[in-house]
Amino acid sequence: MRLQEIGYEIRRARLGRGMTQAALAKAAGLSRVTLNQLEAGVFPDLGAKKLQGLLEHLGLTLALQPAEGRRGSDFVRVAATTASVSFKQPLTEDELIRALLTGKIPPGKRPHLRLLFEEAVPSLMRGLINELSQWTKPGRVEKNLAKLGRDLGTTGRIEEWIKKD
Q: Which DSSP letter does residue 103 get?
A: -
pLDDT 10s per residue in the chain (165 long)? 677 778 888 888 888 889 999 999 898 888 899 888 888 777 767 777 888 888 888 888 877 666 554 444 689 989 999 999 889 999 999 899 989 999 999 999 999 999 999 988 888 999 999 989 888 888 899 999 999 999 998 877 787 787 755
The domains of the chain are located at 3-57, 75-162
How far apart are the C-alpha atoms of 1 and 8, rounded to whole Å? Answer: 11
Residue 118 near residue 154 (C-beta atoms within 8 A): yes
Look at residue 41 in the predicted model and tell me its pLDDT: 76
According to the model, what pLDDT value does residue 61 have?
81
Helix (H, G, I), strand (E, B) or coil at 146: helix
Fold entry, domain 3-57: 434 Repressor (Amino-terminal Domain) (1.10.260)
> What pLDDT is recorded for position 69?
46
Which residues 6+ apart lie within 8 Å of 133 measured at CB? 140, 141, 142
Compute how many other C-beta atoms are within 10 angstroms of the C-beta atom of residue 37.
15
Distance CA 108, CA 156 (A): 23
- pLDDT given for residue 115 in this prediction: 92
d(CA 49, CA 18): 24
Q: What is the DSSP string of 42-72?
A: ------HHHHHHHHHHTT-------GGG---
